[in-house]
C-alpha cells in the first residue's frame, strides 16, 4: 500500500513552476470575484496524551499553507476555520461577506475522518446549484482519497474532488477551472464541465467521481509532481491573519482573528523546514509519499519566516514539522549557523525565538560537534524517534549507549531531549538485568534528562509498507465487546493491532508507562529537587503531563475494559468498502490498489 513514485526525471516540477502558476492565477483571479473557506477537521475524541495541549494550541501548518497559497494567487477573501477552536461550525450555514463561499476546502488527518465526513455531509445539504465546490485534502485524502466519496447511492454525500497532493495540485486545478469558467457562473458548474470534458485528467494528484454521483467509479489522475525547492512555497505569514476566531457559533464571524490575540491562542507556530527522511521504517508512509526525495527551505527563508511571524503576531515558539531535520548534516549546519547570526531589532534571534523539531538518535550523534551552534541558533528542544532503546522493534542506528549519550550531550548544551517510544508486541513492562522492558526504558530516559515523553503503539497506517501484512496476518481488530474500531482510535493511544493473546495487558502497559513518567510524586520532586537550569520547565511539563493523563485515562479505561472482558473480532482481509478507482488512459489507479506499479509513466505535457 505504499504510494508509487513517478519515473526518475518526472518526480519534480521544473524550477520556478510553483511561482509561475501563482503569477498566472493572479491574472485569472483578477477577473473573478471568488471567496473561499478552508476548514481543518478535528475529532475531539483524539485530544489525549501526548497531543492533549498541542492539538489546540498550535494551528496546523497544512491548512494554513492552503490559505496562504490562495491569497498569494489573488483570492483575497479567504477564511481558515479550525474545528479545534470552532467545534460547531457548519458549512451549510457559512457565509463570507454575506455570500455562500465559492470554494469549501476540507483538510483532515485519518484520525479526524468522522469530523471530515460530517463537514462534507453538511455541505451537501445545500442545493447543488448553490453550494460551493467541495475540495477535500490533507493526509486522510492523500492516502485514502476514496474515503470522502460515499459508496452508498442511498446516502449520496461526497466531495466534488479530492486533492492527493500539496499546494501546487490545488493551484493547478484552480487554473483549469478558472480558464473554463464563463462569467460569474458558479465555480462548481465550471468544475462539472471541465470534469465531463476530461480537462482534469492532465492534473496529476486528483481523484473525483466520474459522473459526480455517490457510489460511482472514481477517476485517479495519478501521483503528484513535487515542488523541489521549498522556498517556492507561499509564505506562511499570509495564512495567520485568515484564522477564524474561536467560538461556539455555527456561522462565521464578521472578521478573522485579531493579530494581537494570536500568540495567546496559538503560542507555538508550526513551520516546515524540510520534508523527507532517509530511513524507511515499515510502519511509516512518509518516505514513499515524498517519492524518496529530501526537500528543503533555504536558511535565509527560514530566518525570514520566523522573524516576520514574531514581529507581526508575537509568536516566539516554533515547531519544525520535519520528518528528520538532521537528515543532511551539511545543510543543517548551514541553517543553524545562519540563525545563530540573525538579529531582530539589534538583539540576537536566539534571545527572542525558541524552536524545536524532530530528529533521530543516529543523526544527533553525527551532529554532536555542532550542538553548541544549534543551541545558539535558538533550538531548545528536540523530539527524538527512539522507538525502542534496544533496537529490537526497529533499527534506526540507536542503542542504549548511543541514545543515552545523545541525551546527555543535548542536556549538556541546554537542549531538551524529548523521546518518542513505540511499545510493541512481546515487550514486557519490566525486565531484570536488561533494558528491554518498557518501564526500564522510560526510567533510563528520564535519568538521562527527558523532561517530556510520548509512548504510543503501532497502528496500521495507510501508505505504509506493513499495512497489508497487519490485516492479512489477522492482527487488526474489527471490534471489541461490540465496539467497532473507528478512525479516531488509530492515533497510537489505543491497542487495535497486535498478535498478543491478551491485548488488554498491552494497553495497561502503555498507561503504566505514562503514569510512571507523569505523576504527582514526580511533580512534587520537580518542585523540591529541581534539575539544574530546568526548574520551571520540568515543573510545567510534569503539571501539564499529569493534567493530560487525567483527561486521557477516562477515554482509555472503557477500551481497556472491553479488551479485557469482551469478545474481540479480528479482520481477515483488507477493507474494501469504497468505490472502484480507475486511472487515466491505460494506467492503473495509483491509490487504494495493492497491485499498483511502483513507477508511474510520465504523462503527456509533463513540465519536466
Please indicate, yes or no, whether residues 30 and 139 belong to a single structural domain of this protein.
Answer: yes
pLDDT per position as a tens digit, 319-361:
999 989 999 999 899 999 999 998 888 999 889 999 999 999 9
Report pTM. Answer: 0.94
Indicate the pLDDT class of residue 280, thresholds 50, 70 and 90. Answer: confident
Q: Which domain covers residue 385, as residue numbers?
A: 259-422
The reply to whether 594 falls in a domain is no
Please indicate, yes or no, whether residues 389 and 281 belong to a single structural domain of this protein.
Answer: yes
Q: Which residues contact 560 (CB under 8 A, 6 or more apart)?
A: 504, 507, 508, 511
How far is Cα 336 from Cα 441, in angstroms, rounded to an integer? 31
Indicate the pLDDT class of residue 598, thresholds 50, 70 and 90. Answer: very low
Please indicate, yes or no, whether residues 33 and 87 belong to a single structural domain of this protein.
Answer: yes
239: helix, strand or coil: coil
The reply to whether 163 falls in a domain is yes
Question: Which helix H or strand E contains 180, and what residues bound it?
Answer: helix 167-180
How far is Cα 282 from Cα 73, in angstroms, rounded to an integer? 38
User: Strand 354-359 and strand 317-320: pairing?
Assistant: parallel
pLDDT of residue 90 exceeding 90: yes
The reply to whether 438 falls in a domain is no
Please indicate, yes or no, whether residues 144 and 198 belong to a single structural domain of this protein.
Answer: yes
Please indicate, yes or no, whether residues 73 and 131 belong to a single structural domain of this protein.
Answer: yes
Grid cell in block for residue 294 = 529530501
Q: Which residues contact 257 (CB under 8 A, 6 or more apart)?
A: 241, 243, 244, 245, 265
How far is Cα 62 from Cα 236, in angstroms, rounded to an integer? 10
Q: What residues form DSSP beta bridges with 269?
A: 318
Write the DSSP symbol of residue 548. Answer: H
Terminal CA-to-CA distance of the chain, rounded, Å? Answer: 27
Grid cell in block for residue 370 = 555542532
User: Strand 416-423 and strand 454-457: pairing?
Assistant: parallel
The reply to whether 589 falls in a domain is no
Indicate the pLDDT class of residue 595, thresholds 50, 70 and 90. Answer: very low
Give per-residue burial for 54-63: e unless 16+ CB within 10 Å, then b: eebebbbbbb
Let me know: does 210 contact 158? Beta carbons within 8 Å.
no
The reply to whether 437 falls in a domain is no
Q: Which of 103, 79, 78 is nearest to 89 (CA)?
A: 79
Where among 186, 210, 229 does a domain terminate?
229
The reply to whether 482 falls in a domain is yes
pLDDT at residue 573, as a whole number: 84
Q: How many domains does the chain have?
A: 3
Please indicate, yes or no, whether residues 188 and 297 belong to a single structural domain of this protein.
Answer: no
355: helix, strand or coil: strand
DSSP codes, 283-296: T--HHHHTTT--EE
Task: Give percent above pLDDT 70 in the chain.
Answer: 96
Please indicate, yes or no, whether residues 269 and 223 belong to a single structural domain of this protein.
Answer: no
pLDDT of residue 486 exceeding 60: yes
Task: Give percent above pLDDT 90 in the chain.
Answer: 80
Q: What region, left, alpha or beta, does residue 452 occupy, with left being phi > 0 and alpha being psi -120 to 50 degrees?
A: beta
User: Strand 5-6 and strand 274-275: pairing?
Assistant: unpaired
Q: Which of 385, 394, 330 is nearest to 361 (CA)?
A: 385
How far is Cα 521 from Cα 544, in angstroms, rounded to an integer? 14
Please indicate, yes or no, whether residues 291 and 396 belong to a single structural domain of this protein.
Answer: yes
Please indicate, yes or no, whether residues 272 and 350 belong to a single structural domain of this protein.
Answer: yes
The reply to whether 586 falls in a domain is no
Please indicate, yes or no, whether residues 514 and 412 belong to a single structural domain of this protein.
Answer: no
62: helix, strand or coil: helix
The reply to whether 440 falls in a domain is no
583: helix, strand or coil: strand
Q: Residue 399 burial (CB < 10 Å; 0-12/13-18/19+)? A: middle
Please indicate, yes or no, whether residues 147 and 196 belong to a single structural domain of this protein.
Answer: yes
Supply the angle between the helices 503-517 and 438-447 in degrees, to the nearest 10.
20
CATH number of domain containing 342: 3.20.20.70
pLDDT of residue 68 exceeding 90: yes
Indicate the pLDDT class of residue 58, thresholds 50, 70 and 90. Answer: very high
Please indicate, yes or no, whether residues 337 and 212 belong to a single structural domain of this protein.
Answer: no
Amino acid at each position: 500500500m505504499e504510494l508509487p513514485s513517478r519515473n526518475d526525471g518526472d518526480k519534480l516540477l521544473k524550477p520556478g513552476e510553483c511561482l509561475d502558476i501563482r503569477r498566472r492565477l493572479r491574472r485569472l483571479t483578477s477577473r473573478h470575484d471568488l471567496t473561499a473557506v478552508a476548514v481543518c477537521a478535528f475529532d475531539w475524541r483524539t485530544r489525549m496524551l501526548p497531543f492533549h495541549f498541542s492539538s489546540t494550541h498550535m494551528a496546523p501548518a497544512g491548512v494554513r499553507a492552503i490559505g496562504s497559497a490562495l491569497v498569494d494567487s489573488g483570492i483575497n477573501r479567504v477564511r481558515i476555520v479550525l474545528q479545534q477552536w470552532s467545534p460547531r461550525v457548519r458549512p451549510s450555514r457559512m457565509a463570507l461577506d454575506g455570500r455562500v463561499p465559492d470554494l469549501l476546502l476540507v483538510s483532515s488527518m485519518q484520525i479526524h475522518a468522522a469530523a471530515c465526513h460530517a463537514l462534507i455531509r453538511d455541505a451537501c445539504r445545500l442545493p447543488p446549484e448553490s453550494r460551493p465546490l467541495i475540495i477535500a485534502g490533507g493526509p486522510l485524502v492523500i492516502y485514502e482519497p476514496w474515503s470522502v466519496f460515499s459508496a452508498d447511492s442511498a446516502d449520496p454525500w461526497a466531495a466534488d474532488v479530492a486533492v492527493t497532493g500539496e499546494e501546487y495540485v490545488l493551484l493547478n486545478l484552480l487554473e483549469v477551472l478558472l480558464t473554463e469558467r464563463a462569467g460569474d457562473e458558479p465555480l462548481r458548474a465550471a468544475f462539472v464541465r471541465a470534469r465531463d470534458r476530461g480537462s482534469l485528467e492532465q492534473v496529476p494528484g486528483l481523484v473525483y467521481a466520474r459522473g459526480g454521483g455517490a457510489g460511482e467509479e472514481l477517476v485517479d489522475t495519478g501521483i503528484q509532481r513535487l515542488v523541489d525547492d521549498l522556498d517556492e512555497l507561499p509564505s506562511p505569514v499570509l495564512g495567520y491573519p485568515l484564522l477564524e476566531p474561536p467560538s461556539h457559533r455555527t456561522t462565521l464571524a464578521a472578521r478573522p482573528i485579531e493579530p494581537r490575540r494570536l500568540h495567546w491562542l496559538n503560542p507555538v507556530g508550526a513551520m516546515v523546514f524540510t520534508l523527507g527522511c532517509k530511513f524507511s521504517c515499515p510502519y511509516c508512509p512518509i518516505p514513499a509519499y515524498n517519492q524518496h526525495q529530501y526537500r528543503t527551505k533555504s536558511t535565509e527563508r527560514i530566518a525570514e519566516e520566523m522573524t516576520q511571524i514574531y514581529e507581526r503576531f508575537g509568536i516566539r515558539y516554533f515547531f519544525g514539522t520535519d520528518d528528520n531535520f538532521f537528515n543532511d548534516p551539511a545543510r543543517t549546519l548551514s541553517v543553524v549557523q545562519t540563525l545563530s547570526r540573525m538579529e531582530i531589532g539589534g538583539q540576537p534571534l536566539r534571545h527572542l525565538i525558541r524552536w524545536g523539531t524532530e530528529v533521530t538518535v543516529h543523526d544527533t550523534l553525527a551532529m554532536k560537534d555542532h550542538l553548541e551552534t544549534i543551541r545558539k541558533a535558538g533550538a531548545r528542544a528536540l523530539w527524538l524517534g527512539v522507538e525502542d532503546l534496544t533496537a529490537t522493534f526497529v533499527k534506526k542506528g540507536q542503542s542504549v549507549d548511543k541514545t543515552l549519550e545523545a541525551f546527555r550531550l543535548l542536556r549538556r548544551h541546554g537542549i531538551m531531549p524529548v523521546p518518542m517510544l513505540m511499545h510493541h508486541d512481546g515487550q514486557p513492562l519490566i525486565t531484570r538485568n536488561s533494558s528491554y522492558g518498557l518501564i526500564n526504558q522510560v526510567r533510563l530516559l528520564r535519568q538521562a534528562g527527558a523532561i517530556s515523553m510520548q509512548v504510543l503503539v503501532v497502528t496500521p497506517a495507510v501508505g505504509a509498507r506493513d499495512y497489508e501484512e497487519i490485516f492479512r496476518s489477522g492482527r487488526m481488530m474489527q471490534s471489541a465487546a461490540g465496539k467497532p474500531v473507528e478512525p479516531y482510535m488509530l492515533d497510537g493511544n489505543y491497542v487495535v493491532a497486535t498478535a498478543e493473546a491478551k491485548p488488554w495487558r498491552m494497553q495497561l502497559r502503555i498507561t503504566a508507562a505514562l503514569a510512571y513518567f507523569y505523576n504527582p510524586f514526580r511533580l512534587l520532586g520537580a518542585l523540591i529537587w529541581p534539575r539544574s537550569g530546568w526548574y520551571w520547565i520540568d515543573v510545567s511539563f510534569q503539571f501539564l503531563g499529569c493534567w493530560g493523563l487525567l483527561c486521557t485515562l477516562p477515554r482509555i479505561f472503557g477500551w481497556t475494559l472491553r479488551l479485557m472482558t469482551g469478545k474481540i473480532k479480528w479482520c481477515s482481509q483488507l477493507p474494501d468498502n469504497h468505490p472502484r478507482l480507475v486511472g487515466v488512459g491505460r494506467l492503473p489507479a495509483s491509490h487504494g490498489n495493492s497491485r499498483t506499479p511502483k513507477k508511474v509513466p510520465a504523462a503527456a505535457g509533463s513540465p519536466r
